[in-house]
Amino acid sequence: MVLADAGYGGSAAFRQALTARKLTWAVGIVRTQKVFPAQVRLRIPRFVRRRPRRHGIPSHVSRGADVVLATARWRSVSWRTGTRGPLHAKFAAVRVRVADGPQASKGQHLPGDLAWLVGEWRSNGERKYYLTNHPAGTPLRTLAAAIKARWVCEQAHQQMKEELGLDHFEGRSWLGLHHHALFTMLAFTFLQHLRLRASGRKKNDRRGATPAAHASGDSPGAPDRTACAASSPVSRVRRAHRISPATVRRVARKRASLS
């Protein structure tokens, strides 16, 4: 599945290229993105005084995403459980046809493919809008989980820049940049593997611990406070394996010179 923000989601060519490759996508859009109702049809006038029309006339008028979802039913949805409890917000979804089809004579875009128009109403009052090509009948919670999965990608990108030197490349070739990004992602994947393996061992140790091991007052199922206090997976692995920041920077410089 491809996830993108409104910078990419606003491009009709980008969305259509993903659909042509049979990829599932969920992208952000601006609130003024024009959409048609799902039941829109193109009609050809019977009597034409001039040359025949190349395109039909839509049976409905396109409207902005915010206008379409203004009268929709909003429901509170929890898409996953975070460190402080369930994450939830209000969501609404409507089947539409995006106004990204062929351009008519007056500059208006005709209806394109069917898609889900999804709105998110956050607790601070902010509203966000998305488009996704999930099939009809997809539950609202599935749509919300797919859209909010972009947060994981953004966190991984931020940690690779801050911890592993993703933004330290100073070369000028595309091949060198590609190699630098590839090895950074490989390093991040390896550190994630170490973190998950260490986390699995701690869970097994807690399950097999005796009641005397919890004399400090923590329950057997309580989360490990040391693990929860870490700021990022990379930082947790660095502390567990005694990897100093200087070593990480030295490896990043060496990788950049090889690229």
Q: What is the mean pLDDT of residues 35-41?
A: 92
Amino acid 126: pLDDT: 93
SS3 252: helix
Name the range with the highest mean pLDDT among 93-97, 159-163, 197-201, 245-249.
Answer: 93-97
Between 19 and 200, name the one with better pLDDT.
19
Nearest partner of 237 among 193, 172, 173, 184, judged by Cα? 193
**Which CA distances in Å does 25 have to 80, 132, 147?**
20, 6, 9
Q: What is the mean pLDDT of residues 28-44?
A: 91
Q: What is the mean pLDDT of residues 240-256?
A: 62
The answer to whether the pTM exceeds 0.75 is no
Pair of tokens at residue 227:
């693990």
Between 114 and 244, name the one with better pLDDT.
114
pLDDT, tens only, 208-234:
654 444 444 444 444 444 444 444 555
DSSP code of 167? G
Contacts (Cβ under 8 Å, ≥6 apart) of 72: 92, 93, 94, 119
pLDDT, tens only, 99-133:
988 877 677 888 999 999 999 999 899 999 999 99
> How far apart are alpha carbons 14 and 190 in whole angstroms?
32
Amino acid 182: pLDDT: 94
Amino acid 46: pLDDT: 67
CB of 63 closer than 8 Å to CB of 34: yes
Whether 4 has a pLDDT exceeding 60, the answer reads yes
CB of 95 closer than 8 Å to CB of 85: no
Whether 32 has a pLDDT exceeding 50, the answer reads yes
Amino acid 216: pLDDT: 41
% of the chain residues with pLDDT over 90:
45
The CB-based long-range contact list for 49-56 (8 Å cut-off, 24+ gap) reads 54/105, 55/102, 55/104, 55/105, 55/110, 56/110
Residue 55 exposed, middle or buried by CB count within 10 Å (0-12, 13-18, 19+): middle
Contacts (Cβ under 8 Å, ≥6 apart) of 238: 163, 191, 244, 245, 248
pLDDT, tens only, 43-77:
876 665 666 666 778 888 899 999 999 999 999 99
